[in-house]
Amino acid sequence: MIVIGELINGMYKDVGKAIANREADVIQHLAEDQVRAGATMLDISTGPYSKDPVDDIKWLVETIQGVARVPLVLDSTRADVIEEGLRLAAKRAVINSTSADEERMAVIFGLAKKYNTQVIGLAMDKTGVPNGKERRLELAAAIVARAIEFGINTEDLFLDPVVLPVNVAQAQGLEVLESIRDFRLLCHPAPGTTIGLSNISQGAKFRPLINRTFLAMAIASGLTSAILDPLDKELMDAMITADLISNKNIYCDSFLEAYRKR
Amino acid sequence: MPIELIKEKCAGPINTVEIGRANKRVVRIGGESAMPFLLDEGLMPNAPVVALEILDCEPVEWPEALKVPFGSALKDPVRWAVKCVKDFGAEILCVRLQGTHPDWGSRSADRVIPMLKSIIEETGLPLIIVGGGDDDRDNDILPKVSQALKGENCLLGTATQNNYKTLTATALADGHSIIAESPIDINIAKQTNILISDMGFNPQRIVMHPTTTSLGYGMEYVYSIMERGRLAAFIGDKMLAMPFVLFVGSEVWNVKEARDAGRTQGINWEIATAVSMLLAGADLLVMRHPAAAKAVSRYIGLAMNGGPKK
């Protein structure tokens, strides 16, 4: 599994404050802690309250790269913010994200081609998040088709079926899981898949339990990456175990430790 | 339309392990990034290696067919070792300390160490040294051997899931590599590697022994275990990315089809087993009959060069 650490996001109060005040040690600790806990990539977002997101992303990328050598997932609605991050990224980056809207795809795939990056594609468009797997598949197929036209390898896509909170849209859980399975069959080589895991438990009680249960179910459906909190050890243990049961790693008595030694 | 062959990609190659003192002759094993001899898919920077096995005591139980090539040298391990180099072109030797086993006279470290030193001095070859197979005796003898040969960069064996601490600690202190053995069980193979590396031992200095069995005695199980481990290593499992050693000679010459069947069948049995293990991914074969070793070395040479010329 590709683990994308979600914690460096200006939406969180402490992080937003650290960005505004340029507190490098706060951000660097978050980066190091997540990588140590098993993050293979780090999502970074300046958050909705940033006054100057272009300058903020520049500072974030430089600050994080001072301590962590993992690919960065540049998370923004603004193309100029993403491009600033791409310009500075030391490792092959991921753009988070494009929707299936034509204008957005043209911009994002253009950037992806120019900077040779991977791309997260959300199975949604201007009209919103689909409420069924058929529409999700349609939108995902549109993303794959457009990516191919841009000369992007399908393995460099992470298709995201868009997870909705279980307490709001309970029927969507299974639709999302089936979409993960469907997406893998869209093309060859199969595209990657991802989810913003914490969304599933937004506003609910027992959030960690809901998160790790859903992650295990998604892995069983063929999920290849997730944006999550790697500092949640029980979540990471569940992920490693689900990977194991999916026959992706060979069992040994110390299988949790063995995974972490990789 | 031409058929496009599917080629496997490799996330990480097998570790390369060096045996032998740096300024003398060194043998390198491992390093491959493809299944055996699939040289279109990846690299095999080091051809598999054949070691000849000698014992620290006269092998009175060996069948006649196996004794003949060595003659009276079997009475003296140092002469035996020299004969392996001079007459049979050995590049690396394996000394099995069978004489230290209680059933074979419980030979002491004081007797074994000068013999090993003489072998190194007379042959200049890297050594694989394995205990007699009695855990208590091995845990007494091998640390002393390890210390006496500090810096020779030997390959010492064998560590198992239930008996690895003494050997690991001593090999770590004296700079030797280690053989990690498991009973035809990929789960235990991985676990043993983890246990050894948890003691601070560099996993890049572990060689795996998945257990050897002879042709006709379940060799296929070993084959499938090795294949599974190798495929896992190639998709990034570092705790299985170790080269394999197989003790073909000692296994084959224990079965009746090899022992009790005239002059040549045992040799052929040893060749057939060894070649099968090469195709399963063996990096180091420990063999007994020089004629079998020679045939297998020739096979390796051909396989590394795309087969016999047509």
Task: Say if the Cβ atoms of B191 and A261 lie within 8 Å.
Answer: no
Secondary element (H or E) of residue B49: strand B49-55
Is residue B6 in a domain? no
Q: Does B12 touch chain A (CB under 8 A)?
A: no
Q: Does B238 touch chain A (CB under 8 A)?
A: yes
Q: Three-state DSSP class for B9?
A: coil
Q: Sorting pLDDT into bands at 50, 70 and 90, what band is A52?
A: very high
User: Tokens 């990471």, residue?
Assistant: A236
Query: Distance between CA atoms of B28 and B19, rounded to whole angstroms?
Result: 6
Secondary element (H or E) of residue B295: helix B290-304
Per-domain residue ranges of chain A: 2-261
Beta strands B16-19 and A225-228: pairing type?
Answer: unpaired
Tens of pLDDT, residues A100-148 = 999 999 999 999 999 999 999 999 999 999 999 999 999 999 999 999 9
> Which carries the bigger pLDDT value, residue B9 or residue A232?
A232
Task: Say if the Cβ atoms of A262 and B237 lie within 8 Å.
Answer: yes
Task: Say if the Cβ atoms of A262 and B238 lie within 8 Å.
Answer: yes
Q: What pLDDT was estimated at residue B56?
A: 96
Is residue B10 in a domain? no
Residue A253, token pair as written in the block: 């008595």
What pTM, to 2 d.p., does this model score? 0.88
Q: What is the CATH number of the domain that holds B294?
A: 3.20.20.20
Task: Say if the Cβ atoms of B186 and A254 lie within 8 Å.
Answer: no
CB B296 within 8 A of CB B50: yes
Q: What is the ipTM of this complex?
A: 0.82
Task: Say if the Cβ atoms of B194 and A258 lie within 8 Å.
Answer: yes
A2-261 to CATH, choices 3.90.700.10, 3.20.20.20, 3.30.1360.10, 3.30.2130.10: 3.20.20.20
| Chain A partners within 8 Å of B237 (Cβ) | 249-250, 258, 262
* Domain span at B74: 16-304
Q: What pLDDT was estimated at residue B309?
A: 75
Q: Judge if the upstream peptide bond of residue A241 is cis by omega within 30 degrees of 0.
A: no
Is residue B7 in a domain? no
Q: What pLDDT was estimated at residue B9?
A: 75
Is residue B8 in a domain? no
Per-position DSSP letters for chain A, written without gaps between them: -EEEEEEEETTSHHHHHHHHTT-HHHHHHHHHHHHHTT-SEEEEE--TT-S-HHHHHHHHHHHHHTT--S-EEEE-S-HHHHHHHHHH-SS--EEEEE-S-HHHHHHHHHHHHHHT-EEEEES-BTTB--SSHHHHHHHHHHHHHHHHHTT--GGGEEEE-----TTT-TTHHHHHHHHHHHHHTSSSSPPEE--BGGGGGTT-SSHHHHHHHHHHHHHHTT--EEEE-TT-HHHHHHHHHHHHHTTSS---TTHHHHHHT-
Tens of pLDDT, residues A154-197 = 999 999 999 999 999 999 999 999 999 999 999 999 999 999 99
| Chain B partners within 8 Å of A250 (Cβ) | 186-187, 190, 228-229, 232, 237, 240
Q: Does B30 touch chain A (CB under 8 A)?
A: no
Task: Say if the Cβ atoms of A261 and B228 lie within 8 Å.
Answer: no
Name the interface residues of A facing B (CB cutoff 8 Å): 249-254, 257-258, 261-262
Q: Does B231 touch chain A (CB under 8 A)?
A: no
Tens of pLDDT, residues B40-74 = 899 999 999 999 999 999 999 999 999 999 999 99
Q: What pLDDT was estimated at residue B1?
A: 62
Minimal Cβ distance to B187: which of A251, A261, A262:
A251
Is residue B2 in a domain? no
Is residue B92 in a domain? yes
CB A49 within 8 A of CB A16: yes
For chain B, list residues with pLDDT below 50: none
Task: Say if the Cβ atoms of A262 and B240 lie within 8 Å.
Answer: no
The Cα of A216 is separated from the nearest Cα of chain B by a number of Å equal to 21
Domains in chain B, number: 1
Query: Distance between CA atoms of B284 and B274, rounded to whole angstroms?
Result: 10
CB A98 within 8 A of CB A143: yes
